[in-house]
Structures are given as structure tokens and as C-alpha cells.
Chains A and B, each alone.
Chain A
Amino acid sequence: MNRSLQSLAWLLVFAALAMLPQVLTVKYYLHLSILALIWVIMAQGQNLIQGYTGYVSIVGAGFMGIGAYSSTLIGMHFQWPIWATMAAAPLVTALFALATGYPSLRVKGHYFAIVTLAFNLIIVIVLVNYKELTNGETGISNIPKPWGGSRDAYFYLVLMLAAAMTALAALIARSRVGEILLAIRQNEDLVGSIGIAAWKYKLFAFVISAMYAGLAGALYAHFQSFINPEIFGVAQSLDAILAVILGGSGTIAGPVIGAFLVVFLPEMLRFADSFRLILYGLILVLATIFMPIGIVGVCKALIGRFSRKEAAS
């Protein structure tokens, strides 16, 4: 697909999403759409480190938690307006990511995944036990919502931010930095051998990924109005990884599709009662086995095959 067609497709998707508050008569779907858009931001960040750089990070939800708690606590203790706390959240998360990324990125492959998994566990343990600050497992309620809690308005805010963060991810992916990230994924030793300090780029991807998660966390906190440590556990980090894999790793459209899937699929399966999670797990396993390149990858392959057939005829 050429660039203008791609832009047109994105515009159509954006326009279709922008119409949702008018089209959806059942606001429950709007609620899920807002969550899905928050997950789009989360998944786009995850894709930068996982899809483009080839490092599977299992600390996404932990960083989301840092964003959520920092936005909430700054607002509570310093009376900053919501907009300022939301803007501060990714910056606070970036500081944590810098501190954790530097040692984490000294290891590769599975070891990196395990180190980040440990960081996620530590973040949750701190959130649970530092009760004076976080209120522990009880969590924090009544987090202020902008616009008096209007879901329509919040939807547009999240839509704009998801679109902006997707555009930023696309910019990064198409820049020289993005090319180096891809090169690191392909052959990190080769990147080093031509004089590029790969660690700087890996750290960049890790910190940017954390900033995306921090923003997603802040948006989540001010949407749900309640946070506790359970929301930011390893299971949610795995959801972020799944969103990238299901949609299509290393693509821009993939995390968007994947994010909607991880939010909507479990809800759509509620009809299955206690078999819901079994069914959800089964779908994920089958999708990962039969579509390792994700939905976007499968679509691209089909389009490619169709174009070749047409060219041959």
C-alpha cells in the first residue's frame, strides 16, 4: 500500500472512531472504547521496545502504575490541575525507566525479560507496602475526573492522545532512530561493529516505551477514578505484550488492533460464563500459533499474494 493510501486509511479509521460517541447508543461500548484507546497508547509504547527493538519488556503495567500513581498523588498533595499531573506522569515514569533501564539493558533476550518481570513485581510490592503514600492494597478512590466525568469528552481526549502517540510512534519508526532500532532487532552485534552505540538506542526505546505507559496510566487513573496495585500486575504487562503480538509486532497498525482485541475480546466472551477465560486463553494460543505475524502481518501477506496474482494475470 503506498503512503497516501495508508494516510487515507488512517484518516478513515480516525473519523470512524470519532463518530463513536454519536453512533453508540449503549455507553458501555464507549467505556470499553476509552479503555481500548488507553491500551492503544500502552501497546504503541510496548511495540517500540518489543516490536521494533526486539526486547520483550514485562514491566509495561508497572510503568503504567507509576504513571497512574504519580498523576494521582501529585494532584492530591500539590493540588496541581489534572492536565499538569497528566503531563507530569510520563516524565516521572521516564525517570524510573532511566534508573531501571540502564542495568536491565546490560542483558539480552530472555534475561532482559526476566529482569523487567522482576521490576514489575518490585513496583507492585512497593505500591502494596508503601501504604503511607499509596494507601496499599486498599487503593485510592475518588480520583478527580475532568469535565465532571463526561465520558464523551474523555473519549475525545483519549482519542486525540492515542492518535498523537500513534503518529509519534510512526515518526520514530520511520526516522533514522527507528532504522537503528530495527537493525538492533536484526543483529545487535553488527550494529555495534559499525560504531553505533546500540545501548543508547535501546535505552531510548525503553524510556520512550515507559513514557507511553506512564501516560496510559495517568489516563486510566482519571478515567476510572480508582487505582490499586492489582491493576498494574504482571498479568496486565502480559496483556500489553499480547496486544502487540496479536495485532502485529513491528507495525504501527498492529498495536491499535491488538489493544482493541485485549479489551473487547474478554468482554465479548462473557456469554461463556465460567468458560470465558478458558475460551479467551484458547483463542490467544491458537492466534499465536497460527498467526505469529499478527493480524496486520496476515493482512499484508494476503494483500501481497493477491497483488502478485493480479500482476501475473
Chain B
Amino acid sequence: MTAIKRDKPYSSTRNACKLCTPLGACVAFKGVKGCLPLIHGSQGCATYIRRYMISHYREPVDIASSSFSEDAAIFGGNQLFNTGITNIREQYNPEVIAITSTCLSETIGEDIPRLIHEYRSIHAGEELPAFVNASTPSYSGTHLDGFHEAVLALVKTFGVEGPKEEILNLFPGFVSPEDLRYLKDVLEDFGIGYILLPDYSDSLDNPNWTEYTRIPEGGTSITEIARTARAKASIEFGSVFNRGNLPAKAETRKHTLTAGEYLEKKHFVKNYSMPFPMGIKATDRFFETLEEISGKPTPLRHKRERGRLVDAYVDAHKIVFGKRAIVYGEEDLIIGLVGFLDEIGMDNIMVVSGARSGLLEKKLEDATGKSPSGISVLDDGDFETLRETAEGMKPDIFIGSSKGYYITRKLDIPLIRVGFPIHDRFGAQRVMHLGYKGTQQLFDRIVNALMEYKQEKSNVGYKYM
């Protein structure tokens, strides 16, 4: 494994391979029942983030803004904050208002917990929604840091100690609504009581409505989040989590606990941390953990799903063997994908992430159980550096978000769209990544893309391959 050396020192980011922190926090907060996110900053932050999420999920995504003005930027945004909260209550009557900060509000030193406290004292005696806030300055880390900061904020704010309950916390990370539905099926098949956080499987993938629903149904309720502190165990998917900007966080001494780590430390909830269950080995680890926690064997349905996946691996092994893949996006997704591609005999030639935890190489080694030779690792990377490097590498396939399309178009190779954002294909909410089932879908897509490529590039025009 080699880290890519840049010709020039970093001076600009050309076509970013990351998004800003508040976006991730908003996605996570959308997975809380009755919750309306408020971005404490300029109007544009909320609008851009809404547009970006709407284009992926194809759902209404209401996120309020405190609509900072020039005066607020100079004298502080407390007035706008108060008006904002009151207007949200009036329009949405939410159970929870989840506030994310921005580069603007952080730079001028807005103290959101104090603003919440003040609002509560001004409106003492009224029935108020619950409040939670995540510190998400966009100059620090990526959307993944925002996502995990929000999850951490939720368990910190709402977790309530009490007698232990026979339930499992599952912190799935930033995955698709379909992945979330799958995970719930798995836990239900096991007969395990669980709290999935966040759960935007309904709120970001609604059925059609007969009435416009201001706050979509679904999500983890704060009563459920309260119970996370009393659970028997937690499982969290990921390796890097909110350490996407670790060096700078260490400098500013920001803690970097994950939700699972926090609950373990504070409430003695045993934490099982594992990479995304992608591929057979990683999914086996997930199912073995579920067996351990529940004391029950894996239900037959999932055993058979695994069996079919092995069968598929065998049937298509020659199609994928030795194919050179470039994987890009969030570090935890990359680690999951590399483990999977490694076990089907594909060559991972380069991974690129816009995050800069400095952990990517190490965590890749941990996840694959070896030091995969021949992988170039680019963290703090961008798409232009990816493009320049990829051109000489003769890749066969790219795996990542829509944003790499301009490169694969030029290289004339397939792109398998996974993760976020998928802005140029339909059904992003239903793309699966996790478990035997998600791996099966990914595997089929990769195999078919390679078959299609071969078919289209051949002069013969086979209709039987």
C-alpha cells in the first residue's frame, strides 16, 4: 500500500470528493422521529443542502435556516435564533428541533447550547420541543464527521441511564434507506429488540402521501434514543467515523468519541465496532456478533442468502478476477468496498477520499487483514487528482458516487454508483450496500457492468455470454 505523493503541495481543491459537515448532520437528524433540523447560518447553507439531498432521495427535505443577516454576523445571531425557533414551532410543531452550526456561526463564536438555554428560559412554562445540537463547522472534517457528530449528540442529549434492557443499539452509519430497512429485517428475524439510530428509512423514502406531511413519518423517537443508554450492547459500523479530520481535532482537543464509544464509556453499554458488513467476511462478522449477543443462531433465511452469495461468487468469479478497480468516497464506505472486492479477486488499485483522518491506510489493513499490495491511497484527495492519477493506471471500473462520472466517461469504463450522492440515476434510496443481500446486489451490478462492457466493446455482438 502506498500513499500517493502529490506533485504540488495542496493549494486548492479541484472537484471535491467530500461535502460539508452540516449536510451529514442533517441526514442523521432526518432519521429522528418528529425532528426538524435548523441550520444556524446563512440561508444558502440550508437551501444547498436541501437541494443536494432532494436530488438524491427525491423526497421533500425540509430544513430551516436562521437566515443570518449582516447584523447577526456582527452582533450575534441570538435574535434570529429565537425568532427562528418560534417560527419553526408555529409552522411545524416538531417534537425535536435539531440545530447544526455552520462555518459562519462557529467563526463568530455562537454558543448554541447557551442560545437553547436562553430560549428555554424566555419561553418557560410553554410546551417546548426537545432540543439537540451538533457542532459542525464546515472547515472541519467532512459530511461524515457531521453525520457521526449528530448521532453522538443524540445519544448524549437524550440517553437516560436506567436498569439494563435486553435491547441492542445499532449505529449503521451513512447508508441508504433500503440498507436501513434490511438491517431492521435482520434484527427482527433474529428476534432482537433494537434501537436503530438514525433511521431515515421512511423519512427519506416516503410512500406517496394523501396529505402533505410537514414532518414525514418515521425515525427513531427520543424515547427510544433515551433507551440507548440502557441497552445490552451496541453495534456500530465503521472504522473512521467522525475522525475524518483527526489531526486538526487533536490540535483543538476536540473529543472524537463515536456514539458507541460514548455509551460504553458513560453507560457501560458494550460496544462492538466493525467495518461496514460488505462482502462475506465482514457480513459474517456482523452475523456472528448478532449470534453472540442474542444467543441465537442465524435464521435460515440469511444462511440461505449467504449460500446464494457464495454460489454467485463462484459462478462469476472469472468475470471479476483481476479487474482493476478504483474506489472513492467516504473512508468507511471505501474500507467496506475494498474488503469485498478483495475477497472476489478484484484488484483494488486506488482508493480516494476527501477526508483526512490519516487513518485510511491503517484501517484498510485492519479490515482486509493484510497489507494489500498495489493499492495507492489518496486521502485529502479530490476528483481532479483522481483523474490525473487514474489515467495512467488502466482501471477497468470505478465504484463510488455520481460525481466520478466525468472521469469514467473520458476513460470509457463502467461506473458502479454507490453511496451518496447518486444524482444521475434513479432509485438511489433503494441502492443496497450491506449484508449478504446488499453484497449480492452490488456483486450482480459489478458483474453485469463488466459483461455489458465486454459485450458492447466486442465486434461480434454476442447475445449469449
- Indicate, yes or no, whether A interacts with B: no
- Taking Cβ atoms with an 8 Å cutoff, the residues of B that contact A are none
